[in-house]
Structure 1
């Protein structure tokens, strides 16, 4: 890059994608700076999947401690102390923030702890007023929770605030039906809250297989979670006793101690100044990019949730790696978005890769579907009726597996290896030819009929 610029690369945002892109670009010899107004680590590390997964681990102990008695353990009466878990989780976030910061510094990346505004194809203005230039600008600012617009919406929180609660609410209403809503529904329910999940339609987890979604609704209902479908907010009113009355369409009013919005996420492009560089956004505010992550401005690229392609941390990391290798490493790389595995860390968790049955039928016409509907050994001895469901969708003529969907204990851990096989275009016969690991839940993958 010409020396007339302060940096070869200026990355806006130090989330997982921005950190990876900056680190790799620096390893390729680029002069790199990262501008981050908050903490290094981004949504996933600071206020998303990492701390949430720790809460999910904590929530699982509620059932594990009960089940332990059936396995011969003399477990006394137990109680849950939220501040202990909360503070330990936040301490781990601090550790990760420090680790990410150290990684960038070890690669010679300068960290600018200020908000920036793009002022041109090669320039940004820091909050302090200083102008900074770069040969290439990478936008990796992520996304933020969307709060629906209705009277009293200021009384609710989002997932950002959920990690800092003073106490676990006795009654909580969660608005939404995606993975965040269902994960926090499971978390709060296991911690003892009375949970109501409110959704504008009658479908949860749109994009996942219908049988798997239905199984989660049935299990969640059995655990005590209430669902209010086809419900739109009319108002939230704060009462004198600090509780809230939620008024909604098609259902009676509900009084709760906490209202949480998990109603989607929107790209963080507002007031970023991208129009000054000729960067085009779509109707949702996402940066329009091509396969090489380049925007409509030749010197500005974008990766991660701000592009609104697939909002997953591993995708942002892959895009960051591909960007750095392409632009600074002389190794043109394009991310493959086919057969991307995903998971919902609900109770029990869901994992999926490839097409749902509906998608496969619409795309391929005829398909073969294999299932295994079983009660895990641990649940049998624990006296739990909760059943796991594995589902495999195959192309009729070749037997190639085009989709695999699971709900049950450790489903995401099991699916990761199976996703490799599906990415490799293996067939049902290949799975059948593999000897089962017995006794495991995973063996059902090679025994389905």
Structure 2
């Protein structure tokens, strides 16, 4: 059976690999670069820049302690050059990996016409089709919107902006604010509602006071016009600086319009098997909306691939771990299926410990912060907001235990590696066991 996958981001790329592993005939079509937004414009670029800002932050701390004396000179154009060089290397690896399973990769813009895929003036029939075309930055419909930058423009900047206005209040806005503030920009975040509403109040307070204290946060601000070097709000207040839109994402679903059913927000409607309303057409990743995260897109792509190959598989979104890439990571997970009553909820808050990456933060009291909510009656974890240098691995592990519905007593079997997972020891063992 012929399987065609359109889009090679995390969903499409992993789906193609899974289908190849299962011995299926696969053609992967990609409009631009293999690996999609994550590698080429999104989280990998953010992570690369955040590695630099962590180093800058650490160097500043060591200089303040007096045992290292150094001055850093940052070359933004050289950083961009090396990011691009690394991306090119990883693209080659990603292509080789996909082709190693016997998959064919075609570069070009695809269209769907009369149950035929057309690309580069060629036509391809399919038995199963996966649409994994991703999403793009949403640009508000305001005068001067053309002057605004997005994450797609980070590697096009010649230098660090002197002043930057980030319009938006979500995770991307926070990560961009952290990066450019650390690199030396004067950064304003202009959020239409709340900034980082994904976090609980105490975690958010720690972020504002300890992690991004130099960023100016404005909530309840509505930007109505953008210029090259400033923005204007609905109360006629001006903020100097280059506009940067971090106002959400819009699906690249135009290819499916009139082919499959779309949701009101123009995302492709799918069921838990990633199947559309058309029997042999599937969709996965950001084009379907929901959690727009690389691991979730991978999970959806693999689920779609298994169903396309005839192996029944369903996706589950409970206890999805998330993180904000700051100079100290902020990670969180919520058990959406919890039925815990208010009277059975219990919260424990504790400062971070001097574990991996945090020893030199002890003297300034900036080792992190953790807040855990659990169900006393059922002895289950409900929510965790966790700030520490190891929070990414901590929350990934804890979210798995939550997803598997482990009892808190079962966590006692966890044996930590000192010091890498010491935070797990404090969160799990010292609290309940």
TM-score of the aligned structures, taking structure 1 as reference length: 0.88
SS at match of 2:317: coil
| Deviation of the 1:175 alpha carbon | 0.9
Match of 2:392 among 399, 408, 412: 412
CA–CA separation in structure 2 for the residues paired with 1:143 and 1:114? 17
Q: Shift in Å at residue 383 of structure 1?
A: 4.5
Name which of 372, 380, 383 aligns with 1:392. Answer: 372
- What is the CA-CA distance between 1:136 and the residue it aligns to? 1.0
Q: Residues 177-232 of structure 1: CA distance to partner in whole angstroms, max 9, x if unpaired?
A: 1111100100001111111111001x22233333322322333552x100111111
Which piece of structure 1 moves more, 364-373 or 336-345?
Answer: 364-373
Q: How does 1:164-183 map to 2 (within 5 A)?
A: 164-183=156-175
The aligned counterpart of 2:427 is 445
Contact between 1:375 and 1:386, CA under 8 Å: does it hold in 2? no
Paired residue for 1:265? 249
Cα distance, 1:374 vs structure 2: 4.3
**Deviations, residues 40-82 of structure 1 (Å, cap 9, x unaligned):** 1111111111121011001111111122246664332222111
Mapped contact 2:224–2:234 kept (Cα < 8 A): yes
Correspondence 1:229 to 2:219:
yes
1:366 aligns with 2:344: yes
- 1:174–1:197: 8 Å Cα contact kept in structure 2? yes
Correspondence list, 1:94-105, <5 A: 94-105=88-99
The answer for the alignment partner of 1:213 in structure 2 is 204
Over 3 Å counting, the alpha-carbon distance change for 1:72 and 1:9 in structure 2 is: same
Q: Is the 8 A contact 2:145 2:226 kept in 1?
A: yes
Q: Secondary structure at the match of 1:157?
A: coil
Does residue 252 (structure 1) correspond to residue 212 (structure 2)? The answer is no
Residues 1:363 and 1:290: Cα distance change in structure 2 (over 3 Å): farther
Question: What is the distance in 1 between the residues matched to 2:390 and 2:303?
Answer: 30
Partner SS for 2:333: strand
| Root-mean-square deviation (Å) | 2.4
How many angstroms apart in 2 are the aligned matches of 1:42 and 1:72? 44
Deviation at 1:290, TM superposition (A): 0.9
Q: 2:264 corresponds to which residue? A: 283
Aligned-partner SS, 1:421: helix
Aligned-partner Cα distance in 1 for 2:339–2:48: 38
* TM-score, with length taken from structure 2: 0.91
Aligned length: 427
412-421 or 175-184: which moved more?
A: 412-421
Residue 5 of structure 1 corresponds to none
**Post-superposition CA distance 1:143-196 (Å, at most 9, x none):** 100011111111111001112211011111111111111001000011111111
